[in-house]
Amino acid sequence: MGWRWFHQWGSPRWFYERAGRWQLVCGWLALILLVAGSLWGLGFAPVDYQQGNSYRIIYLHVPVAFLAQAMYAAMALCAVVLFVWKMKLADVAMQSIAVMGFAFTVLSLVSGAVWGKPTWGTYWVWDARLTSMLILAFLYLGAIGLRAAIQDPDQAGKACGILVLVGVVNLPIIKYSVEWWNTLHQPASLKLTEKPAMPASMWVPLLVNILGYYIAAAYLVLGSMRAIVLERERRATWVKELIGRA
Amino acid sequence: MSIEKRMLARELKLIAARPGDIFKPMWFLMLVISMVPLALAPDSDLLAEIGSAMIWVATLLALLLNTEHLFQSDFSDGVLEQWLFLDRPLAWLVGLKLIAHWLFHVLPLILITPIAGLMLSVSTEVLFALLATLFVATPALTCFSGLGAALTLGSSRSGILGVLVMMPLFVPVVILAAGVLIRATDGSDTLPLMALLGAFSVVAATLVPIAVSAAIRLNIGGSN
């Protein structure tokens, strides 16, 4: 046994084949959870006494906003793995997570704006959480832009890693300073330490959807990582054989 | 002469060779400040209200413009490579370079902000607060924009990417400085916020040079 499980991760081919199987599992799981959670949340959960039906966008907005933040942490973890164990796969993960994280951040900003119009009467306010989300979007954009500007993929990956690590140290400072600057947003809908204020018939479908979105994100990241592995290893024989077969 | 002294002397010589480099950011700052009343209105009450914030943002932009190519010439003529062979940690040399940059390029910028303040009819108390925040905050800003400059060293087509990448990290500094300015306008106590701003600057000045040196090593090492 020993270190074999660890060294396998250094082989792009091993990853490509395994990730294909994981992707299949993730895809079906996410589909089942998202269909169940969304149907339940949108069709059967009770109407909110204050916000009416417009609150139902939380079944999209909350999971997406969770993911937007979690993915930056995941990217920082990949940067640590890249620097400590020099694992190239971590760089591939960083590259795909940056794009996906940016997409989720934009989606959470847009869904928040759509929700803000009926609830606050405006699409955008300079509220603490909106502002830190916007800054997060710029941080993701920085990681994407820096990689695009540097030609050598190894060098680009390490430069991005430095940027992401500096970013993750700063992120809590940014978050707290922005919070101190202005706060108007309703307090977090779900907290790990407290019982939610919503009835179970509202938060259980939300939890199902959150899980569904996380697994869907894993599906998307795995898919994009496989594509990047193929592109980077395009000169390897196994890739040529694979493409020849298809 | 020690390496540190020689480095500072070299920076001075470089400035003596091209003194225009110091004036361009100041020129930029004054131009931006002149645009504000033109774009807004020549109303001195209105200008006094937003003046200090405008000066802050304009100084920030001038500083960014100034630091964008901090390591570029040292990189292309091989000085950075020589740094690796010195018996000093790279982060220390980077720190020295940043200090020299702050002294010779950022400090002149801060010193002309009172003139900009007079032009925008900012009151004396707020002007002092503005100067204090700039003194305390610019070391952190210089370090972060230096990191942006170091990260984009290897790419010829980066443009202002280093600035774009680093700007989101300035958020806490700008918020704290704005807090100080607002409190100075009300006449309330600015010390707690100044202390936080100073703490941020100290932490940035100690840790960011390490990240900058990693970025420089990366660009010199090339693909290995």
Q: Which residues of chain B fall below pLDDT 50?
A: 223-224
Q: What CA–CA distance (Å, rounded) separates B138 from A99? A: 32
Please state the domain count of chain A.
1
Please say if the pLDDT value at position A193 is more than 70. no
- State the nearest Cα–Cα gap between A20 and chain B, in angstroms: 30
A78 CB-near residues (< 8 Å, 6+ apart): A90, A91, A93, A94, A97, A161
Report if residue A137 sits inside a domain: yes
Contacts (Cβ under 8 Å, ≥6 apart) of B107: none
Six token digits for residue B187: 């006449």
Alpha helices of B18-160 — where are they, by DSSP H? 20-39, 44-67, 72-76, 79-84, 90-101, 107-111, 113-119, 124-151
Percent of chain A with pLDDT over 90: 50
Task: Tell me if A145 sits within 8 A of B165, measured CB to CB.
Answer: yes
Nearest one of A225, A244, A174, A237 to A15, comparing CA atoms: A225
**Which pLDDT value is given to residue B40?**
84
Confidence (pLDDT) at A91: 94
- Residue-range definition of the domain harbouring residue B179: 3-221
Query: Is residue A192 predicted with pLDDT exceeding 80?
Result: no
Nearest chain A Cα distance for residue B79, angstroms? 20
Residue of A nearest to B155 (CA): A150
A141 at the B interface (CB within 8 A)? yes
Q: Check residue A44 and give its pLDDT.
A: 83
Spell out which residues of chain B touch residue A167, defining contact as CB-CB under 8 Å. 168-169
| Residue A181 in contact with partner chain B when CB distance is under 8 A | yes
Is the residue at A208 inside a domain?
yes
Distance from CA of A81 to the nearest CA of B (A): 16
pLDDT for res A177: 85
User: Could you tell me which chain B residue has the CA closest to the CA of A173?
Assistant: B172
* Count: domains in chain B: 1
Q: Which residues of A touch B140 (CB under 8 A)?
A: none
Pick from A186, A177, A180: which is nearest to A112 by CA? A186
Q: Is residue A191 part of a domain?
A: no
A168 touches chain B (CB under 8 A): no
SS3 A52: strand
**CB-closest option in B165, B167, B175 to A163:** B165
Does some domain include residue A194? no
Search chain B and give the residue with CA nearest A167. Answer: B169
Nearest to B218 among A142, A149, A159 (CB): A159
Residue of A nearest to B208 (CA): A166
A115 lies in which domain range? 17-185+201-245
The reply to whether A192 falls in a domain is: no
Across the interface, whether the CB atoms of B171 and A174 are under 8 A apart is answered yes
Radius of gyration, alpha carbons of chain B: 18
Q: Is residue A3 part of a domain?
A: no
Tell me the ipTM for this assembly.
0.88
The residues pairing with A48 across neighbouring beta strands, listed in sequence order, are: A52
Which residues in A lie closer than 8 A to residue B171 (C-beta atoms)?
135, 174, 177-178
- Contact list, A76 vs chain B (CB under 8 Å): none
User: Could you give the CA distance from residue A65 to residue A88 in angstroms, rounded to a whole number?
Assistant: 28
Q: Is A184 a residue whose pLDDT tops 50?
A: no
Considering the domain boundaries, does residue A190 fall inside one? no
Q: What confidence tens digit (pLDDT) does each residue in B100-145 have? A: 999 999 999 999 999 999 998 889 989 999 999 999 999 999 999 9
